[in-house]
Amino acid sequence: RRRNAKPMRAPRASGSMADYSWGFGHIEALPGDPNTGRTYSTPPQAECQKLLEALAGDIGIQAVMKAHGYRVGKLTEIAPGLDTGMIGVSDVCLLGLNINKGQEIQLRLRTSDLLGVRPYWLIKKTLVHELCHNVHGDHDAKFWGLFSELMKEADSRDWTKAGGRALSDSGARSSSPPDSTSPE
């Protein structure tokens, strides 16, 4: 069974959120820093685009979105900068932003030094957090209850967290994908 399914998207002709009942309308990595106009080279836009597509196609994320009817018009990234916070420089570092209850979700993919991307598990957790803002604006008890519920739902669909098994020449053994970086 594939870990990542094809992302659910709206038809390209209209791009209207009314055209689909759940999923992502448009997925777009930033080509460069919107504040300076400088093109990103490390990691390149194509790498971040693949990461966003993987998140949108994640079986756990898709299960949550389908079960709750969540729609996101645009999934994109937040540019690291002083206005959104930088690790080691700012007191606060914004990891995600949900604009207008799912019209657009922005995720911080790149590290503050622009030399890499954040761990997949952290970005996925941030995406689930931002999906909760489709329902609850404030970080109150209802929000955190929903977050806990959605994380359990997403993890239950992820074979790497559900004790997935693979067969090898020596019989059954635990298996996880080579890019698995979750500390859990």
Please state, in angstroms and as integers, the Cα–Cα distance from residue 108 to each residue in 76, 78, 116, following that order: 9, 5, 11
Residues 6+ apart with CB under 8 A from 6: 57
Catalytically annotated residue among 47, 53, 130, 153: 130
CA pseudo-torsion sign 120, 122, 126, 132: positive
Which residues sit opposite 165 in a β-bridge?
Answer: 174
In contact, 123 and 55? CB cutoff 8 Å: yes
Apex CA 130: angle with CA 59 and CA 98, to 5°? Answer: 125
Amino acid found at 154: A
The dihedrals phi and psi of 72, each to the nearest 5 degrees, come to -130, 120
- Catalytic annotation on 184? no
What gap in Å lies between CA 123 and CA 159, rounded to an integer?
Answer: 18
Known catalytic residues are: 130
